[in-house]
Structure 1
Amino acid sequence: MRSSIRRRIRSTRTPVALATGLLLVLSACSGSAAGNDKGKTADEVAKIGLLTPATGPYAAVGEDTRAGLELYRDTHGGKLGGLKADIVVRDEGAGPPTAVPAATELVKQQNVLAITGIVSGGSVAGVLPIAAANNTALMGVAGRPEFPDPKLTAHVWSFNTQSYEAGAAAGPWVKEHVNGPVYAIGPDYQGGWDQLKGFTESFTKAGGTLANPDGKTTFTPFPGTQNFLPYLNKIAQSGAKAVYTFYAGTAAVDFVKQYRASEAAKLPLYGSGPLTEGRQLDAQSDAAAGITTFATYGADLDNPANRAFVAAWQQRHPDRSPTIYAVAAWDIARSLDSAIGAVRAQKKPLTPEAVNTALGNVGQIDSPRGAMQLNPATHSPVQQWYRFEVRNDGPKRANVAVEQLAVLGG
């Protein structure tokens, strides 16, 4: 173990006074162009599109995304860049069939300054050409595919990761700590392909072997798979010494509960952060005990920005811990705050294109996950990765950061 991250934030003990004081610090440090309020007309509004799942398997992820974006705005006077911020919400659903028409409406009818949210990798691939054609920034909260076309890359900004990175962080560690083959399994869509590709490539490059019969990842139909037991029984008979997976939302709950009830439960289970994050962990309860995940954020990370963020979050959402999706949305709002403020300070027309350009000059972000900055070439975060374990935290389970891994980014 390279380093221990044991100092913990226990959300149930966060005092209201701490939240209030730290929010004042956040407001003072905001990138808002407060000085630009002078002389502005009453109808000036920063209209931001939020495209995120309200239905389907990732609805809880969508709720956390909206909560993070609104929390930043509401704790900064309801403004972004010195202007009243209007968040226009549309349903991403389970992928492109819902996301693409919703994005088209946001860009062409609502005339938003940017599109935020986007959970599914397939949605990103479908929506990005629309955003790019209209010079509008697409600011995502989840992992995203790689885009070789520079026109597309110029308009996509990822505030979580590139989808392959969780697996890339996990592969070498798993090879070092598992004495034998590992079974790889995940959902059959863009996000699942990218996540598992990152793991299998880094794992086999480090000398690891897959236990899958054909030496390739097993993909389960998405979003229709609810019964994972046939897959888990095959895993138990495969000779695997461990399992690596990516699932999120309701699929993560179903997979973990059924894993614990299956013959595969004797095998260590590894995965990317969404497997046991937020309300998924609450629903999984004891079934998640001991699972190891690889991620960039956990609510227990001990830094000033995270203490402030968690305190603010717990005032509004005392029933649940924040997730990386909420953090990514918070960081998106912070970046928009700075970018819109910069455009106004330069007395330029406030257009989607101007905001997209200004995002390239935001620089380092003091994020709840720790300091991070978007790679200027890929627009993906350069950030620290951690290994987490599901352990007891009082009466509940929690993802506890136990080890720093690599710094990855774009």
Structure 2
Amino acid sequence: MAGRFRPLVLITVTTGLLLATGCGGASLGTGDDSKQTGPVKIGLLVPQSGTYKALGDDMKAGFELYVRQHGGRLGGREVQIVIADEGETADSGKAAAEKLVKQDRVLAVSGVVSSATVNGVKDLFETSRIPLVGSNASPTTLTGTKYIWRTSYVNDEPGKALGKHVAERAGGPVFLVAAGYQAGKDEIEGFKSTFLPAGGKIAGEEVYTPFPGTKNFQPYLSQIENSGAKAVFCFYAGGAAVDFVKQYRDFGLAGRIPLYAPGFLTEGGVLKGQGDAADGVLTALNYSADLDNAANRKFAPAYRAAHGTDPTTYAMASWDAAQVLDKAIKAAGGNVTPETVNAAISTVGDIDSPRGTWRFNSGGTPIRPWYLREVKLGANTLAGDLGRLGG
């Protein structure tokens, strides 16, 4: 059943292989054997069921790719990865996290798709002093933590990255519409924070559509058509992104009123579901699979070879999370414990990422570049540089 806690699966990562195993052996988690030179145990908390399974699969694939590319090791230690099903609710995510921390006694955890999950597990990681190097969820409300890091973004940043750009190009008022939950509200507020100071005007009041129940967007599309808007900024992901984009085209708005959004609107599997309805959609994201830099030339072709598709931001951020842990475990030296690794994370410095070089800010999220992308012939293509955020 979607959302229920699923059993954990323990896998040992060795060079080029993922071998199933039934126990952790003498792996190095939070026990007293932490100074040994044996394997380290890392928890991967990602959806393996429910609405966000596709995102979880991408995150798992990105993390595992980095480990394979580094000989099955992080920081010179063999790695055992414990995969926990986050599911699709805060309760299922919290139960999975507690299992990783309290029963499996992992050294560190990565993953986490949902903002509700990360809010629900904040106290667990802080009180247990186990580092969480998250690779997706990062609500604006997550502040003041010492053991929670994110290799992704803060929820309002894609909107912030687009605001000034849209204000300069819309040529009139912009209609704002988003899914009615925390991430949608964060994105709208982020967009307004740079759009309004740049002289942008809003067409009426922003609209929040009921989440997750909205399937028919026709009433909202009618509002857009009647508003006099010259452009639209929206936030949708997953199945809602497919529905919104296809209905936007079918209603006759595509090609007449430009559609802007955080990159999740057209990222990964949803783009296939949207088909040619997505052509021309403009998005802001911290990654584009066609970026030309040394790290992406190593990452993107390897990901395509393994999975037959372009890597997503979810896979990229998880690849980076593995890189952060690689550097931190190495820096901890012969005394590898959750606390020494957490301390080392704060000193890892520049991360040579497929998105471009970045480093953690004081809040534990990246200072990184943002990119404008446009869907052309069914693919997200790099269309410009929107500057750096996170400082």
- The equivalent residue for 2:7 is none
1:60, CA displacement in angstroms? 1.1
Unaligned runs of 5+ in 1: 1-22, 24-39
CA displacement, residues 58-92 of structure 1 (integer Å, 9 cap, x when unaligned): 22111100000011111211111222211111222
Equivalent residue letter for 2:63: L
Equivalent residue letter for 1:382: I
- The equivalent residue for 1:399 is 380
1:175 and 2:167 correspond: yes
Relative distance call for 1:158 and 1:333 in structure 2 (3 A) is same
1:390 is aligned, of 375, 381, 385, to 375
1:225 and 2:214 correspond: yes
CA distance in 2, matches of 1:56, 1:299: 26
1:264, CA displacement in angstroms? 3.3
1:282 and 2:267 correspond: no
- The equivalent residue for 1:119 is 113
1:299 and 2:289 correspond: yes
1:45, CA displacement in angstroms? 2.2
Count of matched residue positions in the alignment of Structure 1 and Structure 2: 357
CA distance in 1, matches of 2:317, 2:345: 15
CA displacement, residues 138-176 of structure 1 (integer Å, 9 cap, x when unaligned): 2222251235753x2x22211111111111110111010
Structure 2 SS opposite 1:382 = strand
Unaligned runs of 5+ in 2: 1-15, 17-34
CA displacement, residues 239-290 of structure 1 (integer Å, 9 cap, x when unaligned): 2211111212222112111111114333110001111112211221100000
Greater per-residue helix proportion: 1
Structure 2 SS opposite 1:251 = helix
- The equivalent residue for 1:140 is 134
- The equivalent residue for 2:328 is 339
1:322 and 2:311 correspond: yes
1:99 is aligned, of 93, 98, 114, to 93
- The equivalent residue for 1:165 is 157
CA distance in 2, matches of 1:50, 1:315: 23
Is the contact made by 1:313 and 1:322 (CA closer than 8 Å) also made in structure 2? yes
CA distance in 1, matches of 2:189, 2:301: 36
2:147 is aligned, of 148, 155, 162, to 155
2:240 is aligned, of 251, 264, 275, to 251
1:98, CA displacement in angstroms? 1.6
1:221, CA displacement in angstroms? 2.2
CA displacement, residues 81-114 of structure 1 (integer Å, 9 cap, x when unaligned): 2222111112222231221111111111111122
1:186 and 2:172 correspond: no
Comparing 86-95 with 154-163, greater Cα deviation is found at 86-95
1:367 and 2:353 correspond: yes
CA distance in 1, matches of 2:236, 2:142: 26
1:63 is aligned, of 53, 57, 62, to 57
Is the contact made by 1:299 and 1:323 (CA closer than 8 Å) also made in structure 2? yes
CA distance in 1, matches of 2:186, 2:371: 19
Relative distance call for 1:225 and 1:45 in structure 2 (3 A) is farther
Comparing 116-125 with 356-365, greater Cα deviation is found at 116-125
1:130 and 2:124 correspond: yes
Relative distance call for 1:113 and 1:224 in structure 2 (3 A) is farther
Normalising by structure 2, what TM-score? 0.87
Q: RMSD across aligned C-alpha pairs, in angstroms?
A: 1.8
1:235 is aligned, of 200, 219, 224, to 224
CA displacement, residues 26-51 of structure 1 (integer Å, 9 cap, x when unaligned): xxxxxxxxxxxxxx978x32111111
Comparing 66-75 with 186-195, greater Cα deviation is found at 186-195
CA displacement, residues 167-203 of structure 1 (integer Å, 9 cap, x when unaligned): 1110111010011111111122222221121012221
Is the contact made by 2:263 and 2:285 (CA closer than 8 Å) also made in structure 1? yes
Is the contact made by 1:226 and 1:251 (CA closer than 8 Å) also made in structure 2? yes
1:354 and 2:340 correspond: yes
Structure 2 SS opposite 1:202 = helix
Equivalent residue letter for 1:390: V
Equivalent residue letter for 2:163: G
Is the contact made by 1:114 and 1:137 (CA closer than 8 Å) also made in structure 2? yes
CA distance in 1, matches of 2:314, 2:150: 11
1:207, CA displacement in angstroms? 2.1
CA distance in 2, matches of 1:384, 1:61: 22
2:192 is aligned, of 200, 208, 226, to 200
- The equivalent residue for 1:34 is none
CA distance in 1, matches of 2:88, 2:174: 29
Is the contact made by 2:139 and 2:186 (CA closer than 8 Å) also made in structure 1? yes
CA distance in 2, matches of 1:400, 1:148: 32
Comparing 131-140 with 289-298, greater Cα deviation is found at 131-140
1:226, CA displacement in angstroms? 2.3
Relative distance call for 1:173 and 1:365 in structure 2 (3 A) is same
Looking at both structures, which has the greater relative contact order when contacts are Cα pairs under 8 Å and sequence separation is at least 6? Answer: 1
Relative distance call for 1:55 and 1:258 in structure 2 (3 A) is farther
